[in-house]
Amino acid sequence: MSSKEKLKIIPLGGMREIGKNITAFECGEEILIVDCGIAFPEDEMLGIDLVIPDVSYLTKNKSKIKGIILTHGHEDHIGAIPYVLREFQVPVYGTRLTLALLRFKLEEHGILGTTDLRTVYPGQSEQFGRFNVEFIRTTHSIPDSIALAIHTPVGTIVQTSDFKIDYTPIASEPMDLNKFAELGNQGVLLLMCDSTNVESEGHTMSEKTLEATFEETFRRAKGRILVTTFASNIQRLQQVFEASAKFNRKVALCGRSIDHAFKAASAEGYLNIKDDMIVDIDKINKYKNEEIVILTTGSQGEPMSALSRIASSEHRKVEIIPGDMVVISANPIPGNEKLISRVINELFSKGAEVVYEKLADIHVSGHACKEELRLMHRLVKPKYFMPVHGEYRHLKQHANLAMEMGMSEEDIFIMDVGDVLELTSHSARINGHVASGRVLVDGLGVGDVGSVVLRDRKLLSEDGLIVVVMTARKRRATS
């Protein structure tokens, strides 16, 4: 460890959640990128499909970049890869399931063949220039999630990424808590830790606790069962398959992202099911109602998703039959409450029974609550702390939690997008700021819609417009 070296950590993007979608680690002439995700548009971004991070700082420094490490396969961590790879081609590292999910995306963008994908394994490590990175198994709402221990010339950085501490996970191994303890004993310069659930007391329930709820729910069902959840929640899919097998039901998949997740997870061995469990969605009518489960997308009420179209009778293949039971195994992401409520109302009015979070414990979160966060702080015992993965309110609460546990305020850094945290082996401070922000994607257009266009769209949407057409004839002034 040299005392002259400096490490810069820069959260990029322009999302509400800081330090989540993409973060740069820069030391001398080397940059390592962690994650590369999208955000979903805010209500006022009329006509915008998705939001990607502004990576102009990285583009300017592209010769320094050693690679991009993806911590897990969620959209807000991998979704911007096809856009960012247009700016610079670098190797992309991820676990097996993460890369399997990424491949569908690369294929859609026609760049699967030209992208350098490299598989990493929890428990192993990799050298990126002078960065040595250990991949640590965590538990989250998608299997094959990892945290990172980034050993740098100034010290060790632990980035937890999204996690919960699930002692009894489904379809994946438990979290490698001992590795965090070992790192803590060796000395950690900076902890970067998930803040999503910092407002919740206690400990997030294990995925395993849903087993009983699914069984009880399936036992009650007399007709077909439709289950919706986040497509990438492979553990949840496994639970649905297990409950289906127990009650002698076949499972049909409905919706593109469920299809992709199923294929990726099956190919990589993350789903453990019998081949004859699956029936084609076109063939469900050959079975009795009580022999069928339909696994569908649309747990957030997204208007174009399979479940929304089924609820509004606009789906080509599936229609609600009175007596169907619909299980919504997800909680609304803030902002989606009304969309979901509309779908629930429509399902009820078509005669389905609907089981959702207000009525039953049919979902568990993928993020650590306060007690789990306290455990992480105690194990890692960092010198400095940067709360990440949360809106400002969450980062602030996470800072409070760290202070309650004994850290002093000056050792905690709440960053804004583009802020540069400069670390030496014995100091840390926010020093400087690089241009960053969000880039709006509207169909095929990337970055061509800015705030002026959005303002115009808002005005148009609220007031309409008047077009005045005049024809004027130029007449010579004659005497």
Q: Which residues are catalytic?
A: 194, 367
DSSP 216-235: HHHHH--S-EEEE--TT-HH
Cβ-based nearer residue to its own copies, 168 or 461: 461
Contacts to its own copies from residues 323-362, by CB under 8 A? 334-335, 337-338, 341, 344-346, 348-349, 354, 358-359
Is there binding between residue 222 and its own copies (CB under 8 A)? no
Residues 427 and 283: their CA atoms lie apart, in Å, by: 64
Which helix (H) or strand (E) segment holds residue 68: the answer is strand 65-69
Which residues, including other chains, have CB under 8 Å from residue 362's CB and lie 6 or more apart?
A: 210, 213, 214, 217, 327, 328, 329, 355, 356
Residues 271 and 383: their CA atoms lie apart, in Å, by: 40
Is there binding between residue 460 and its own copies (CB under 8 A)? yes
Is there binding between residue 457 and its own copies (CB under 8 A)? yes
Interface residue with its own copies, options 110, 124, 275, 467 (CB under 8 A): 467
Q: How are strands ordered across the β-sheet holding 50-53?
A: 50-53, 438-442, 445-446
Is there binding between residue 393 and its own copies (CB under 8 A)? yes
Residues 250 and 202: their CA atoms lie apart, in Å, by: 37
List Cα–Cα distances, 303 to 298, 317, 324, in angstroms.
8, 17, 21
Query: Which span (117-125, 137-145, 261-269, 459-467) binds its own copies, by CB under 8 A?
Result: 459-467
Strand partners, 133: 126, 150
Is there binding between residue 453 and its own copies (CB under 8 A)? yes
Contacts to its own copies from residues 282-311, by CB under 8 A? none
Contacts to its own copies from residues 141-170, by CB under 8 A? none
Alpha helices in 145-255 (DSSP H): 177-186, 210-220, 234-246
Interface residue with its own copies, options 61, 89, 200, 365 (CB under 8 A): 200
318 within 8 A of 310, measured Cβ to Cβ: yes
Cβ-based nearer residue to its own copies, 316 or 338: 338
Sketch the per residue contact string, 20 through 59, with its own copies: x for CB under 8 A, - otherwise: ----------------------xx--xx------------
Query: Which span (57-65, 258-266, 420-428, 463-471) binds its own copies, by CB under 8 A?
Result: 463-471
Size of interface with its own copies, in residues (CB under 8 A): 38
State the residue for tokens 């097996």. 96
Cβ-based nearer residue to its own copies, 184 or 418: 418
- Structure token digits, residue 286: 């050959």
Is there binding between residue 445 and its own copies (CB under 8 A)? no
Would you tell me which residues interact with its own copies (CB under 8 A)?
16, 42-43, 46-47, 199-200, 334-335, 337-338, 341, 344-346, 348-349, 354, 358-359, 391-393, 396-397, 453, 456-458, 460-465, 467, 469, 471
